[in-house]
Amino acid sequence: MEIKQTALAGTLESSDIQITLSQGSNGIQIELDSSVEALYGPQIKQVITTTLQAAGIDNTQVKAVDKGALDCVIKARTLAAAQRALGTVDEPNWEVL
Protein backbone atom coordinates (compact mmCIF):
# COMPACT_ATOMS: atom_id res chain seq x y z
CA MET A 1 0.00 0.00 0.00
CA GLU A 2 1.10 3.53 -0.67
CA ILE A 3 1.60 6.10 2.04
CA LYS A 4 -0.79 8.99 1.54
CA GLN A 5 0.52 11.45 4.10
CA THR A 6 3.35 11.81 6.57
CA ALA A 7 2.21 10.59 9.97
CA LEU A 8 3.53 10.44 13.50
CA ALA A 9 2.74 8.33 16.56
CA GLY A 10 4.22 8.08 20.02
CA THR A 11 5.96 10.47 22.37
CA LEU A 12 9.50 11.23 23.51
CA GLU A 13 8.92 10.18 27.09
CA SER A 14 10.77 7.39 28.85
CA SER A 15 9.82 3.86 27.70
CA ASP A 16 8.13 5.19 24.58
CA ILE A 17 9.17 5.54 20.95
CA GLN A 18 8.20 8.20 18.43
CA ILE A 19 7.68 6.92 14.89
CA THR A 20 7.34 9.19 11.86
CA LEU A 21 6.51 7.67 8.48
CA SER A 22 6.89 9.59 5.25
CA GLN A 23 6.80 8.70 1.57
CA GLY A 24 9.71 6.72 0.24
CA SER A 25 10.51 4.80 -2.91
CA ASN A 26 13.49 2.74 -1.85
CA GLY A 27 12.16 0.02 0.45
CA ILE A 28 11.81 0.55 4.21
CA GLN A 29 14.51 3.01 5.25
CA ILE A 30 14.90 3.47 9.00
CA GLU A 31 16.72 6.30 10.70
CA LEU A 32 16.97 5.35 14.37
CA ASP A 33 17.92 7.52 17.32
CA SER A 34 18.28 5.53 20.52
CA SER A 35 20.43 5.55 23.62
CA VAL A 36 20.47 1.74 23.51
CA GLU A 37 21.18 1.54 19.80
CA ALA A 38 24.45 -0.35 20.22
CA LEU A 39 22.63 -3.12 22.10
CA TYR A 40 19.13 -3.19 20.62
CA GLY A 41 19.39 -1.20 17.38
CA PRO A 42 19.06 -4.21 15.03
CA GLN A 43 16.14 -5.63 17.03
CA ILE A 44 14.23 -2.32 17.12
CA LYS A 45 14.64 -2.00 13.35
CA GLN A 46 13.55 -5.59 12.88
CA VAL A 47 10.35 -5.04 14.88
CA ILE A 48 9.53 -1.88 12.93
CA THR A 49 10.20 -3.55 9.58
CA THR A 50 8.10 -6.63 10.37
CA THR A 51 5.19 -4.53 11.63
CA LEU A 52 5.26 -2.30 8.55
CA GLN A 53 5.36 -5.27 6.20
CA ALA A 54 2.45 -6.88 8.03
CA ALA A 55 0.55 -3.62 7.54
CA GLY A 56 1.28 -3.86 3.82
CA ILE A 57 3.84 -1.03 3.57
CA ASP A 58 6.92 -1.79 1.50
CA ASN A 59 8.23 1.68 0.71
CA THR A 60 8.62 4.33 3.38
CA GLN A 61 11.08 6.53 5.18
CA VAL A 62 10.93 5.88 8.91
CA LYS A 63 12.27 8.17 11.56
CA ALA A 64 12.31 6.58 15.02
CA VAL A 65 13.33 8.30 18.24
CA ASP A 66 13.49 5.62 20.89
CA LYS A 67 13.45 6.19 24.63
CA GLY A 68 13.81 2.58 25.70
CA ALA A 69 10.52 1.18 24.40
CA LEU A 70 9.66 -2.50 24.72
CA ASP A 71 8.85 -4.49 21.58
CA CYS A 72 5.09 -4.38 22.21
CA VAL A 73 5.25 -0.57 22.43
CA ILE A 74 7.33 -0.35 19.25
CA LYS A 75 4.77 -2.50 17.44
CA ALA A 76 1.82 -0.49 18.68
CA ARG A 77 3.37 2.87 17.80
CA THR A 78 4.48 1.66 14.38
CA LEU A 79 1.02 0.32 13.60
CA ALA A 80 -0.63 3.54 14.77
CA ALA A 81 1.70 5.60 12.56
CA ALA A 82 1.09 3.21 9.64
CA GLN A 83 -2.70 3.53 9.89
CA ARG A 84 -2.48 7.30 10.11
CA ALA A 85 -0.15 7.35 7.10
CA LEU A 86 -2.45 5.10 5.09
CA GLY A 87 -5.60 6.90 6.18
CA THR A 88 -7.08 3.66 7.59
CA VAL A 89 -7.48 4.75 11.21
CA ASP A 90 -11.19 3.82 11.13
CA GLU A 91 -10.54 0.24 10.02
CA PRO A 92 -7.88 -1.15 12.34
CA ASN A 93 -6.11 -4.28 11.20
CA TRP A 94 -5.89 -6.15 14.50
CA GLU A 95 -4.20 -9.18 13.01
CA VAL A 96 -0.98 -7.22 12.53
CA LEU A 97 -0.40 -7.26 16.27
List contacts with another protein (CB under 8 A).
Answer: 5-8, 11-14, 18, 20, 22, 33, 35, 61, 63, 65, 67
Residue closer to another protein, measured from CB, 30 or 94: 30
Query: Could you tell me how far CA 72 lies from the centroid of its own chain?
Result: 12
- Pair 18, 68: CB distance under 8 Å: no
Shortest distance (Å) from residue 84 CB to another protein: 9
Shortest distance (Å) from residue 81 CB to another protein: 10
Give the integer Cα–Cα distance in Å for 55 and 73: 16
**Strands 17-23, 28-34: parallel, antiparallel or unpaired by DSSP?**
unpaired
Shortest distance (Å) from residue 48 CB to another protein: 15
